[in-house]
Structure 1
């Protein structure tokens, strides 16, 4: 049960739960679907039809990652200038159109160009949603909603392959088009109703909402119930940049997610599947290679929802997840290093490691909580920078520590995981200390503004 204090507030939260979470979760699910369809198309005939050579497939993925990284901060800043119900659907239509255009390409170079702009467009979803959630929900509500949103992406990881396999098998050859081309067409078309839904019913932010399903009193309540939230938006100038990099929030939370994001490496780099494929004594069938690893995101979903709910109940003690993940990373790595001859132990360790996905929801909620009394535009940049920093490291981290040729044991990667887990515990403790010190300061001096930094309440269109 959601912990909501009063009937009018309960009604308001149920409404925004439905319209915000339904749109954001479905968007994120199909964001993952569109992001992963290239690999499915590649093994379903695209490689041969477009005459891929060498590492062109890897280059395309790198090009997408570059676009995704570059789009983080601009996208989250755009949400503070343009109403979200216009911005998000526009980005969805943009990436849906790019996905459909992919069906018409005739060479790998065409896909490279498309995937760069696809990365730019898809950069709007993850960080943008966390900014919106932090604008609507209180400390005792935010974790669960962030957890549900994160779980929708994990669900996309679990079921996306099945969906895309069904599209390919049923439409291969229809109208003279290969199944992999239909895959891009269908994935693109699916985004159209999502965009229309968001345009009509997404509620923007509490201070700018004109949603028809919210009464005037509910709109006022949406603003007043988060009385500690700073809704001002500073202009983008040198004073803004100076404040961004001279306060501790940017450095603390970006580095937190850089470290924590790499504790997800066991899962995000499909190490269980690579271990099974290169197992020294056991030969696994194709079905087993595809099905057994789905247990990892399943554990991730359960862990995400559990910790997100628990930290809400504990009034925002998100740091507990940092300690849990630190222990999980060390123990699972040590088990794989020392008990590698036991297949059951290795499987158990990789499944347990899926629990670290809990850090996505809780750490972004932690940042939202910590920055409630900071300028809203600064909060949007910090959230986007967290995701940008993590993806920038991911671009080379997996190549060094989790390359497929290091299978099945990934000894180098296990030691990297141990180091990241210990670093996460230390960094988490540092943020706890800094946050406690900040809370002990009088409210009037917690976030001093420079005389240059005049803020405005609303400059959205």
Structure 2
């Protein structure tokens, strides 16, 4: 077992030149995508860091205005999902991704000049549309280049980079608040958005110069002609059709893939609610007895994404090693959600216990890497445009629900205890385990059907050759043609 695991970590590429190709892909694809996602999450989550670092008081936030801003962001993010992935069919990724980065960097810096929650709300809506390109677009790109045995680990590394943005954002805000607060008359939280926007631009330039697009469209100067051919041979050749047509739309809605994976991610997205709604930070900010400094408000919640990074890499690597058993994460999430919610309900006044449960809840972030890798695995033999739309629709569906879910169950006015949200988490966690089992059942059925169809095609080809055997060279030629047409 140990030697097998070490072999997995080294890579099981067996074709001549394959290991060198994968190393190049890892360097140029993962470095750009991980940096892009890191900055994406840094820009996105630093609104919560700014809120607890003086923005609330300076802009006179009232009631659930923070949640309303996050909802508007979610609406924009939802609107952008499918169009962004479809755009990758018409615009090369090395143009599209950097252009979106430049746009959201400019909007992030514009946030520093706002003077009301309404101004932030308008900016965040358009910022979300451009940021929608990153997560689903990258998962589509990863599925285009990597094999089933390679995908989980790479998806895990990519997801972990976003969590690193969440984790480091708190420390960055602490440092900026300490060193930049009041400089040139600007508050520390305003400097946070300016610096976030500036550091995004060099990564956009890097992507424009060196991102390799997709195997069939790449012109990357660092890939040889042989490596480009090898890259195309490593992934199944699938049919293509334009993603903008009524025929294609009806085709998407007639498959079980769309419904099952969209619902899977809708449920999974709500199991992340403790972390994505910054409940620990709001618990600390609103606690009736305990008082925390700005540094503590920013630094203590960073333990949640830290747990998420470890959990993501662990489950992504484990499910790869176990042959793609991504469904195991669904059961882990179900257990985690029920236990953490129940304990917080029972011990809400015992601060160390509440902290521990919120940290443990961060482990559900593992579903981001494994579930999108699962979708890529299952759709590997379907046409490419269907895979792109299903992946985008997963995130679109989740964010459409989260747009109102966070206000109903996790509104800031419900801090510090979020009793209603705890019961909602128990419900979606149980639903997560049930839906995971149903999806596994559908996947097994589909794989069995595909095996039967493949066996039938192989048998037809064999019989096609036998029927004309002995009829001379002309007959043999017909048999070969007949076999090729089946």
Question: TM-score surpassing 0.5?
Answer: yes
- The partner residue of 2:105 within 96, 108, 116 is 96
| Corresponding position of 1:81 | 90
Aligned partner of 1:219 among 207, 228, 236: 228
1:338 is displaced (CA, Å) by 3.8
Give 2:175's aligned residue: 166
**Which residue in the other structure is 2:343 paired with?**
335
Instruction: Confirm whether residue 124 of structure 1 aligns to residue 133 of structure 2.
Output: yes
TM superposition score normalised by structure 1: 0.89
- 1:400 aligned onto 2:408: yes
Match of 2:207 among 186, 191, 198: 198
Conservation of the 8 A alpha-carbon contact between 2:341 and 2:422: yes
Aligned to 2:317: 309
The CA deviation at 1:261 is 1.1
Structure 1 match to 2:278: 270
Q: 1:76 to 1:212 in 2, by over 3 A?
A: same
SS in 2 for 1:211: coil
In structure 2, distance between residues paired with 1:344 and 1:369 = 40
Given that residues 173 and 298 in structure 2 are in contact (C-alpha distance below 8 angstroms), is that contact kept between their aligned partners in structure 1? Answer: no
The alpha-carbon distance between structure 1 residues 133 and 231, as it changes in their structure 2 partners (threshold 3 A), is: farther
Residue 39 of structure 2 is aligned to residue 30 of structure 1: yes
For structure 1, the residue ranges without an aligned partner over 5 or more in a row are: 447-461
Distance across 2 between alignment mates of 1:338 and 1:59: 29
Cα gap change, 1:418/1:104 in structure 2, threshold over 3 Å: closer, same or farther? closer
Larger Rg: 2
**Shift of residue 376, structure 1, vs aligned partner:** 1.0
Superposed displacement of residue 225, structure 1: 1.4
Aligned mate of 2:13, from 2, 5, 8: 5
Write out per-residue CA displacement over residues 267-300 of structure 1, whole angstroms, 9 at most, x where no aligned residue. Answer: 2223333444555765555544433322221111
Query: Aligned residue for 2:380?
Result: 372
* Alpha-carbon contact 2:327-2:436 (below 8 Å) kept: yes
Task: Report SS of the residue matched to 2:325.
Answer: coil
TM-score by length of 2: 0.84
Which of residues 253, 256, 259 is equivalent to 2:261?
A: 253
Q: In the alignment, what sits opposite 1:422? A: 430
| In 1, Cα distance between equivalents of 2:19 and 2:384 | 25
Match of 1:326 in 2: 334
Task: Give SS of 1:234's match.
Answer: coil
Find the aligned partners of 2:113 and 2:283 in 1 and give their Cα distance: 36
Map Cα deviations across residues 352-403 of structure 1 (whole Å, 9 max, x no partner): 2211111110000000111111111111111111111111111221222223
CA 1:34–1:406: 2 relative to 1, 3 Å: closer
Alpha-carbon distance, 1:434 to partner: 0.6
Cα distance in 2 for partners of 1:168, 1:118 equals 24
The runs of 5 or more residues in structure 2 that have no matched partner are 1-8, 455-486
Quote the residue 2:74 is aligned against.
65
For the residue of structure 2 that corresponds to 1:440, the secondary structure is helix
RMSD, aligned α-carbons: 2.5
Q: Does the C-alpha gap of structure 1 residues 264 and 180 become closer, same or farther in structure 2, counting only changes over 3 Å?
A: closer
* 1:195-240, Cα deviation, whole Å (9 max, x unpaired): 11001100101111111111111111111012x3526243421110
Partner of 1:66: helix, strand, or coil?
helix
Q: Does 1:358 align with 2:391?
A: no
Residues 234, 375 of structure 1: 8 Å contact kept: no
